[in-house]
Copies of this chain bind each other. A is one copy, B any other.
Amino acid sequence: MRAEIITVGDELLTGFTVNTNAAVLGQKLLEVGVGPCWVTVVSDNEEEISSAVRRSVERADVVIVTGGLGPTADDRTREGVAAGAGRKLELRSDLLGRMRERWRARGPEMPESNTRQAYIPQGAAAIENRVGTAPGFRMTCAGVDVFVIPGPPAEMRGMLEDAILPYLESRFPDRIRKYRTLHTIGWPESGIAQVLSERLPGSLQADEQWSLAYLPHAGSVDLRIGASGSPDQVNRTLRGVARRIRRILGPVVYGTDGQTLESVVGSLLRTKGLSVAVAESCTGGLISHLLTNVPGSSGYFDRAVVAYSNRTKTSVLGVNPGTLRAHGAVSEEVAVEMAWGVRRLAGTRIGLSATGIAGPGGGTKAKPVGLVYVGLSVGRRACGFRFRFPGGRELVKRRSARAALNVLRLYLLGGTLDGLEP
């Protein structure tokens, strides 16, 4: 089953709007076993739209058109699609009545200009729009299903999920494709790929049943497992492959399908009834910002001290001036004393710290930009970890903050500081 996606709109051509609709449609179509084979973007021009529709009906089995269904005169998709399909538009009084009702429920009378939105091609079936006012429609042209829906992402998504996907799923019930993503941290892509290629045969190329894609970003690697077949087969395959990968990679996998590192750390802290305080230098508040993005984080996050100056490190965190002199602010020793100091200051069980050189300035040969130490103090013990990150200032901050959260996660998983290898 081959699909064509036609997105209509000048703002997509000029690049002021990035075409996320096409990406969402592509992913969702795949999930119901329909392969997106062409994406076409055309302007708000009747002739362009009709010619795109004519071509798509010749080559695809399913066509989805989005955008250009608004009430103003520059929205030409209704006319373009009707012309492309060789049909007339007709006023559907049932749609008009429902539109008037929806306007009334919100307050004002429906402006006359919106009447345009109640016209759909003869013989087309209307698709309801829960989010906005413009109805969509579906019609069959020479055996090809053509769906036409509005462009605002929330409306597009709602109608896709309410009407289009269920329809396609019932048309092609035995062939779906689904994905599961495992999020990892701490290993490079090449290392993961090598281990999996040895221990997970078939993992490096797609085969009939399932596929595995490596999606590296900012020092982490997401593993996207895809599986095709009947819904039962697919669920079984995804579960099975995910389990095998987790068994091979162990705690390198921190979450699934969009879980964040900070929410995983938060759940672990909450479950174990522990609280944490944070001392940040190079991360500049980012560790704290990430931790507090999680609703309910006030239950386990006590405070953070962002100590950019040496004076703050000594006066607030109690770092020994001698340690600063002997090893410099960017050192394992100072990271450890910062973690220790903030834990004592806050009276929490755990202290976490990061100190490093985020750049672009401040690097030396011995201590280059990207050198970062993370400190972890638990009760009466503490230890430090050395990292070296590539990238610019914001990327080094992000990687450092995630590395610190990962050190904390690995401690919470294992329950001991011994043998931690972040």
> What is the interface of chain A, defined by CB distance below 8 A to chain B?
12-20, 22-28, 30, 35-43, 48, 213, 215, 224, 278, 280, 283-289, 291-293, 295-298, 301-309, 312, 316, 345-346, 358-361, 393-394, 397
Are A309 and B305 closer than 8 Å at their CB atoms?
no
Q: B14, B20, B288: which contacts A306 (Cβ < 8 A)?
A: B288
A32 → chain B, closest Cβ, in Å?
13
Are B37 and A40 closer than 8 Å at their CB atoms?
no
Chain A at the B interface: mostly helix, strand, loop or mixed? mixed
Q: How many identical chains are in the complex? A: 2
Are A309 and B316 closer than 8 Å at their CB atoms?
no
The residue of chain B having its C-beta at the shortest distance from the C-beta of A288 within the complex is B285
Q: What are the residues of chain B within 8 A of A23 when measuring CB–CB?
A: 12, 15-19
Are A292 and B397 closer than 8 Å at their CB atoms?
yes
A195 → chain B, closest Cβ, in Å?
22
A292 and B304 contact, Cβ closer than 8 Å, known pairs A22-B19, A41-B39, A213-B16: no
Are B292 and A284 closer than 8 Å at their CB atoms?
yes
Are A22 and B41 closer than 8 Å at their CB atoms?
yes
The 9 closest A-B pairs by CB, nearest first: A284-B292, A285-B288, A15-B26, A285-B285, A15-B23, A39-B41, A304-B306, A15-B27, A285-B289
A397 and B293 contact, Cβ closer than 8 Å, known pairs A13-B38, A13-B39, A37-B13: yes
Q: What are the residues of chain B within 8 A of A48 when measuring CB–CB?
A: 37-38
* 8 A-B residue pairs with CB within 8 Å: A22-B41, A39-B41, A40-B41, A284-B292, A293-B397, A302-B312, A303-B306, A304-B306
Are B14 and A36 closer than 8 Å at their CB atoms?
yes
The residue of chain B having its C-beta at the shortest distance from the C-beta of A18 within the complex is B23
In the complex the two chains form, what is the Cα distance from A28 to B286 in whole Å?
Answer: 34
A397 → chain B, closest Cβ, in Å?
7
A164 → chain B, closest Cβ, in Å?
15
Are A25 and B16 closer than 8 Å at their CB atoms?
no
In the complex the two chains form, what is the Cα distance from A190 to B346 in whole Å?
Answer: 46
Q: B13, B291, B305, B360: which contacts A26 (Cβ < 8 A)?
A: B13
The residue of chain B having its C-beta at the shortest distance from the C-beta of A287 within the complex is B285
A285, A304, A308: which has the most chain B beta carbons within 10 Å?
Answer: A285
The residue of chain B having its C-beta at the shortest distance from the C-beta of A290 within the complex is B285
Q: B26, B42, B393: which contacts A38 (Cβ < 8 A)?
A: B42
A278 → chain B, closest Cβ, in Å?
8
Further 6 A-B residue pairs, CB within 8 A, beyond A15-B30, A295-B361: A12-B26, A17-B23, A40-B41, A286-B289, A295-B393, A303-B307
